[in-house]
């Protein structure tokens, strides 16, 4: 479904993603973990051509169902965005236009790609909002994004991302603004999407718990590189890379600075991939 080969991205001349390769199969859920600034959002936004003015892919390919996304013109990408590939942004407010009601944005999102009535588009929005545990979806459709709390806005953004049944959903910290109970309900809704429609999900999160619950495969990023990749069990139970091990151990402890618990040296981020099993590899094999 999605294949990223040797991707390099820079902001002006500063590299943010280095030689990153990964694949997401049909119906798979892939979780990407890693510390702040490791390039997770950059990698995710590059897939649908949203790196902003400063960001540029300097090498590598991004293939979606065999088509090279990074070579597409804006008009071609616009056809794919929302319909085939949807993105849930790290700041949920960025998914919405502040001066348009949420309901109108559901209508626009659907009607850009499909010939349906406004009523049908709104019905779809309402149904998704209900699934995402909104008590009063009608009120949400009539609201502007700034009238919602951060958590509500995040759930509404997830609904908006899902409204055209994309085949691939890119989700940047989709549950970070939600309280714990809503987090697990939202994770369930994302997993239902996969069950019912075979949607593939590439998700970035700090939350190892969300990864443990949802993901089939896990990648760990550190300083712009993917340093370990494997099936969820391989990463959570048999991590080999020192950074991954530290990340999994690092349940924040009172009185201890977080960074102290994540030691990692350059040698183990600059090497070549080494296979641990047919589905599991780490960086670190020589230079
Ligand atoms: N628009 C931008 N212009 C310049 N540099 C940027 C821009 N966006 C991100 N960067 C830089 O690229 C690097 C990777 O940032 P990115 O946002 O991808 O990290 P992240 O892993 O998503 O972090 P977080 O977990 O905090 O969201 C950082 O050094 C960041 O400062
Ligand atoms: Mg980010």
For ligand 1, whether the C-beta of 90 sits within 6 Å is yes
pLDDT score at 2: 97
Q: Is 176 in the pocket of ligand 1 (CB under 6 A)?
A: no
Cβ(218)–Cβ(230) below 8 Å: yes
11 lines ligand 1 (CB under 6 A): yes
The ligand placed nearest to the CA atom of residue 12 is 1
pLDDT at residue number 287: 42
- Tell me how far apart the alpha carbons of residues 197 and 179 are, in angstroms, rounded to a whole number: 27
Contacts within 8 Å (CB) and 24+ apart, 71-80? 74/49, 77/48, 77/49, 79/113, 80/48
Please state, in angstroms and as integers, the Cα–Cα distance from residue 139 to each residue in 119, 124, 128, 256, 259, following that order: 16, 15, 14, 44, 43
The pLDDT, as a whole number, for residue 142 is: 97
Looking from the CA of residue 221, the nearest atom of ligand 1 is 21
Burial class (CB in 10 A: 0-12, 13-18, 19+), 274: middle
pLDDT in tens, the chain (287 residues): 999 999 999 999 899 999 999 999 999 999 999 988 999 999 999 999 999 999 999 999 999 999 999 989 888 998 899 899 999 988 888 889 999 999 999 999 999 989 999 999 999 999 999 988 899 999 999 999 999 988 888 889 999 999 999 999 999 988 877 777 778 878 888 898 899 889 999 999 888 888 989 999 999 999 999 999 999 999 999 999 988 988 888 755 556 665 555 555 545 567 788 999 999 999 986 54
Q: What pLDDT was estimated at residue 69?
A: 94
Task: Tell me the C-alpha distance between 240 and 27, whole Å.
Answer: 27
Atom of ligand 1 nearest to the CA of 45: 18
* Contact by Cβ (8 Å): 8, 60: yes
Q: Are 228 and 282 in contact (CB under 8 A)?
A: yes
Q: Determine the number of helices (DSSP H) and then strands (DSSP E) in the chain.
A: 11, 12
**What pTM was computed for the model?**
0.90
Task: Please tell me if the CB atom of residue 252 comes closer than 6 angstroms to any atom of ligand 1.
Answer: no
Q: Given this model, what pLDDT does residue 177 score?
A: 74
- Sign (positive or negative) of CA dihedral 88, 94, 95, 101: positive
Query: Which pLDDT score, from 0 to 100, does residue 44 have?
Result: 96
Q: How far apart are CA 3 and CA 21, in angstroms?
A: 8
Atom number, ligand 1, closest to the C-alpha of residue 17: 14
CB neighbour class for 124 (10 Å; exposed up to 12, middle 13-18, buried from 19):
buried
Pairing of strands 280-285, 225-231: antiparallel
Nearest ligand to residue 226 Cα: 1
Q: Which atom of ligand 1 is nearest to the CA of 51?
A: 1
Residue indicated by tokens 């649908």:
48
Distance CA 113, CA 109 (A): 7
27/191 Cα distance (integer angstroms): 10
Q: Could you please report the per-residue DSSP string of 55-94?
A: EEEEEEEEEETTEEGGG--HHHHHHHBTTTEEEE-SSGGG
């Amino acid at each position: 479904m999605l294949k990223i080969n040797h991707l390099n991205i820079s902001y002006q001349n500063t590299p943010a993603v280095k030689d990153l390769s990964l694949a997401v199969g049909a119906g798979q859920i892939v979780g990407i973990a890693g510390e702040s600034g490791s390039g997770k959002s950059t990698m995710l936004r590059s897939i649908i051509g949203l790196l902003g003015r400063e960001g540029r892919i300097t090498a590598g390919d991004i293939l979606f169902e065999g088509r090279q996304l990074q070579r597409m013109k804006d008009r071609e990408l616009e056809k794919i965005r929302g319909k085939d590939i949807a993105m849930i942004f790290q700041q949920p407010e960025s998914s919405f236009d502040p001066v348009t009601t949420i309901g109108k944005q559901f209508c626009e999102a659907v009607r850009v790609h499909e010939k349906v009535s406004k009523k049908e588009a709104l019905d779809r929005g309402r149904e998704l909002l209900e699934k995402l545990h909104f008590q009063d979806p009608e009120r949400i459709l009539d609201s502007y994004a700034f009238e919602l709390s951060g958590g509500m806005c995040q759930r509404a953004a997830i609904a908006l991302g899902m409204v055209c049944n994309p085949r691939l959903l890119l989700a940047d910290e989709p549950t970070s603004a939600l309280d714990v109970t809503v987090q697990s309900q939202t994770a369930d809704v994302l997993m239902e999407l996969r069950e019912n429609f075979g949607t593939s999900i590439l998700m970035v999160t700090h939350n190892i718990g969300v990864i443990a619950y949802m993901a089939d495969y896990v990648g760990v990023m550190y300083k712009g590189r993917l340093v370990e990749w494997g099936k969820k069990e391989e990463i959570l139970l048999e991590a080999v890379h020192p950074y991954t091990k530290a990340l999994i151990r690092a349940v924040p402890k009172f009185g201890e600075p977080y960074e102290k618990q994540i030691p990692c040296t350059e040698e183990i981020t600059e090497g070549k991939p080494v296979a641990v099993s047919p589905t599991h590899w780490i960086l670190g094999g020589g230079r």
